[in-house]
Amino acid sequence: MKCVISAICATIIFGSCNFNKLEFELINRSGTTIYDIEITTSSGASSLHLDSIPMKVSEQVYLNLFGEPSVDGSYTITYLLNSYSYNYDFGYYTNGSPITEKYILQIEQDTIRIQEILRGDY
């Protein structure tokens, strides 16, 4: 009976953890609307897409890495700003799982500032 209760408790505890879910806060400080925002993993197995982010708006989105192969890789953000396409590589994940809790990406007119918050840094 103890084994059954322990198994149920372990399932509840580990099932509620989101170790394969990664939070992104995207902040538009570019002075204009940003279009076709996409964040992908270097393996291409996981991605998220936003149609647009108006200027001076912040969006919180989550990337699920559940189907990511057990490899190391990084992230890429692509977006359109003033009819130009921008592409930035950043971050790192290992064995298909993020080592980071959250990324804050502040998109400006000519650059992108990226802040990484590691797990347990809150």
- Structure confidence by residue, pLDDT tens digits, 57-68: 999 999 999 989
Q: Is residue 13 part of a domain?
A: no
* Averaged pLDDT, 78-102: 95
Q: Is residue 99 part of a domain?
A: yes
Q: Is residue 11 part of a domain?
A: no
What is the pLDDT of the chain when averaged over all its residues?
88
Q: Is residue 68 part of a domain?
A: yes
Looking at the 3D structure of the chain, how many domains does it have?
A: 1
Query: pLDDT digits over 14-48, tens only?
Result: 444 557 899 999 999 999 999 999 999 999 999 99
* Averaged pLDDT, 72-86: 96
| CATH number for 52 | 2.60.40.2890
C-alpha to C-alpha distances, 67 to 60, 80, 116, nearest whole angstrom:
21, 27, 23
Q: Is residue 62 part of a domain?
A: yes
Amino acid 19 reads F
Query: pLDDT digits over 97-106, tens only?
Result: 999 999 999 9
Domain that holds residue 24: 19-118
Strands 58-64 and 73-81: unpaired
